Chain A
Amino acid sequence: MKKKLLLFLRTLNARAYVRIFGQMREATWVVASVLGGFFTMTTYIYLYRTLGTGSEFSGLVVLGGFMTPFFLNVLWGVATQLYWEKEMGNLELMLVSPAPLSAFLVGLSVGGAMHTMLRSLAVLFFGIAVFKVQFTLLHLPLALLVFFVTLFSMYGLGIVFSSLFLYHGRDAWRTADLVMEPTNVLSGSYFPARYLGLGLLGIAALIPTTLGLDALRQLLVPSFTVKVLDWRWELLILIGLGLVFAFIASWALRSVEYKARRDARLTLRWQ
């Protein structure tokens, strides 16, 4: 048991290392992603200012800009990762090793989240510095709790998707592309999710960013009133979602690995 745990942790650490330190070497990519996030945020802030909405809208946009890179990381850095690993020839080596697939995925989730944190904090910093957006820090510990539970839930969902994307091969790219924009809209990254209406909210609530962002806005933006649910309920739902995703992910990874070994999908590239 101890040996298995050590193997899991060492694999996690090694895979996270690539994400954290390796990607730091791609300086232009880091700068471009920070600037991209910043300009999207800027567009929405100017739009809200033009429309004459309250200052809380700038705050919710900055929080959206802070959370969006995490969502993108989950989609492109976790959900599609096993597929990319297969294309690069790494998946075979990962599977031949004694480490469980879940350790690789948790590792790249942890590494991805830490790496993304720097970019997200940069976007947050620029948002506060350039647009003079104000947040209340009265509930900072609770906001941090909500934030980490949201990440847990988001990355859990990413791991579920990764096993599906692995099995469906090259469709992964198109599916991720297809999922990206609707999910961006449904999670209310740059507007209050309550405006989606009850029907769409039912679906949107399955995306952890939706409720996570809404709860963060309640805790950090003082004049934010258009909430979906009370943040306490949202936190409970996020914990529940995270646990369900973790369970499904664990089952799906085992199941997909077996099916992939049976159907030769681990060794065939471009499939």
Chain B
Amino acid sequence: MHTAIQVENLSRVFNRRGTAPFHALRGVSFDVSYGEIFGLLGPNGAGKTTTIKIMSTLLLPTSGRVTVAGFDVEKDYTHVRPLISLISGGETSGYGILTVEEQLWMFSQFYGMETHVARARIEEYLKVVSMWDSRRQQMNRLSTGMRQKVNLVRGLVTDPKVLFLDEPTLGVDVEASVIIRNIVRDWVREKPERSVILTTHYMAEADELCSRVAIINHGLILANAAPSQLKQDLDSRAHYEITVDRLDGEQLDHITAFMGEGNDLVLGSDKVAKSPMLVAHLMHESDIARLITALAEQGVTLEYMRKLEPTLEDAFLKMVGKRFEDEEETSPVS
């Protein structure tokens, strides 16, 4: 069994009084393998959180089927729950009057852990997130970043097979975000039977962590592939930015003719160095060698050159038609 999660034709409709039914998911299918960090990307209201809620047994599907570690989340949810953990961004769960250590112990007990085992793991993970010294601090005195680190530890202490991370670095500073990402990556690598489902607003985070991402919008999966594949599918051409000492229109025409059809060259200027800057969109990666030769033949000296890589955000933008920042829709599942 290599599939940690299998989602088949999943649909969810929310019926609200006085309004038309809201179709949050419309036949979503994907699977997640053990050892994988799988990302779900999409704007608000796209269906990410609804999918996570169904996978984590908090919500029933209207139709379709989801299995976690081979167990049906609808019928066998009592078998699913011991195997999973859920961590949401901006989470203020637990009780502010408890200390960090007490809070983590309390949650471990909800999984039936023996106290000495729980305490050992709490110590181990609190040290990993550099919070061992804050173990006796009350939860209501922690910063957002510290609280989110505690939430992460809470999710890991019970040693789940599947970890659901719903916007885990939301509102967290850069340093804490890096720590959280590193821990998640190391945690999955540590044991092959572990897997993570991640939803995030941060494309760089998904790009860095996920072996595959599914882009979801209006309850439909638009793409499901490795981030590198999604970026590659966006545009197969190679793009370069080349700053040179001099380049006029006549020289550019000669070079364009030399490079042939399909290769586009745009002349601009480097805003910092104020030198001419050539942006080249080449049919093949290898055409860069010909371009450099052509520039040299025109007596042009290269000052600086860099390859332009498409980002996951570009792929997202192309598929969804808007950036995360442009969102206005809201989901009924918050």
The distance from the CB of B148 to the nearest CB of chain A, in whole angstroms, is: 13
Question: By the criterion CB–CB under 8 Å, are A96 and B333 in contact?
Answer: no
Contact of A95 among B57, B105, B138 (CB under 8 A): B57
Give every chain B residue within 8 A of A26 (Cβ-Cβ).
97
Interface residues contributed by chain A, number (CB under 8 Å): 33
Give every chain B residue within 8 A of A222 (Cβ-Cβ).
none
- By secondary structure, the B interface counts as loop
Question: By the criterion CB–CB under 8 Å, are A93 and B86 in contact?
Answer: yes
Interface residues of B in 33-72 (CB under 8 A from A): 53, 56-60
B80-123 interface code vs A (CB 8 A; 1 in, 0 out) = 01101110100111110110001001110111110000000000
Question: By the criterion CB–CB under 8 Å, are A268 and B84 in contact?
Answer: no
Cβ of A88 within 8 Å of any chain B Cβ, yes or no, is yes
The distance from the CB of A180 to the nearest CB of chain B, in whole angstroms, is: 24
The distance from the CB of B156 to the nearest CB of chain A, in whole angstroms, is: 14
Question: By the criterion CB–CB under 8 Å, are A88 and B334 in contact?
Answer: no
Give every chain B residue within 8 A of A7 (Cβ-Cβ).
111-112
The answer for the CA separation of A243 and B255 in the assembled complex, in Å, is 91
Question: By the criterion CB–CB under 8 Å, are B105 and A261 in contact?
Answer: no
Contact of B86 among A23, A88, A92 (CB under 8 A): A92
Question: By the criterion CB–CB under 8 Å, are A266 and B59 in contact?
Answer: yes
- Known contacts A6-B112, A17-B106, A97-B110: A89-B92 contact under CB 8 Å: yes
Question: By the criterion CB–CB under 8 Å, are B98 and A22 in contact?
Answer: yes
Give every chain A residue within 8 A of B53 (Cβ-Cβ).
264, 267
The answer for the CA separation of A227 and B167 in the assembled complex, in Å, is 61
Contact of B109 among A11, A90, A95 (CB under 8 A): A11
The answer for the CA separation of A133 and B262 in the assembled complex, in Å, is 101
Question: By the criterion CB–CB under 8 Å, are A93 and B112 in contact?
Answer: no
The distance from the CB of A270 to the nearest CB of chain B, in whole angstroms, is: 9
Cβ of B293 within 8 Å of any chain A Cβ, yes or no, is no
The answer for the CA separation of A21 and B98 in the assembled complex, in Å, is 9
Cβ of A240 within 8 Å of any chain B Cβ, yes or no, is no
Cβ of B332 within 8 Å of any chain A Cβ, yes or no, is yes
Cβ of B14 within 8 Å of any chain A Cβ, yes or no, is yes
Give every chain A residue within 8 A of B97 (Cβ-Cβ).
18, 22-23, 25-26
Question: By the criterion CB–CB under 8 Å, are B111 and A261 in contact?
Answer: no
Cβ of B78 within 8 Å of any chain A Cβ, yes or no, is yes
- Known contacts A88-B92, A98-B78: A267-B333 contact under CB 8 Å: yes
Contact of A90 among B85, B94, B111, B138 (CB under 8 A): B94
Contact of A264 among B57, B138, B333 (CB under 8 A): B333
Cβ of A170 within 8 Å of any chain B Cβ, yes or no, is no
Closest to B92 in A: A89
Question: By the criterion CB–CB under 8 Å, are A98 and B111 in contact?
Answer: yes
Question: By the criterion CB–CB under 8 Å, are B111 and A97 in contact?
Answer: yes
The answer for the CA separation of A76 and B36 in the assembled complex, in Å, is 44
Cβ of A49 within 8 Å of any chain B Cβ, yes or no, is no
Question: By the criterion CB–CB under 8 Å, are A262 and B60 in contact?
Answer: yes
Give every chain B residue within 8 A of A262 (Cβ-Cβ).
60
B154-172 interface code vs A (CB 8 A; 1 in, 0 out) = 0000000000000000000
Most buried by B among A17, A89, A261, A262: A261
Question: By the criterion CB–CB under 8 Å, are A97 and B94 in contact?
Answer: no
The answer for the CA separation of A96 and B82 in the assembled complex, in Å, is 8
The answer for the CA separation of A17 and B95 in the assembled complex, in Å, is 11
Contact of A261 among B59, B82, B91, B332 (CB under 8 A): B59
Closest to B107 in A: A93
Question: By the criterion CB–CB under 8 Å, are A267 and B334 in contact?
Answer: yes
The distance from the CB of B50 to the nearest CB of chain A, in whole angstroms, is: 9
The answer for the CA separation of A22 and B96 in the assembled complex, in Å, is 9
Give every chain A residue within 8 A of B106 (Cβ-Cβ).
14-15, 17-18
Please list the residues of chain B having a beta carbon within 8 angstroms of any beta carbon in chain A: 14, 53, 56-60, 78, 81-82, 84-86, 88, 91-95, 97-98, 102, 105-107, 109-113, 138, 332-334
Interchain residue pairs with CB less than 8 A apart (26): A10-B109, A10-B112, A11-B110, A14-B106, A14-B107, A14-B110, A15-B106, A17-B102, A21-B102, A22-B97, A89-B92, A90-B93, A92-B58, A92-B86, A92-B93, A93-B110, A96-B57, A98-B78, A98-B112, A261-B58, A264-B14, A264-B332, A264-B333, A266-B58, A267-B333, A267-B334
What would 8 more interface pairs be, CB under 8 Å, given A14-B109, A261-B58, A267-B334? A18-B98, A26-B97, A92-B58, A95-B58, A96-B56, A98-B81, A99-B111, A261-B60
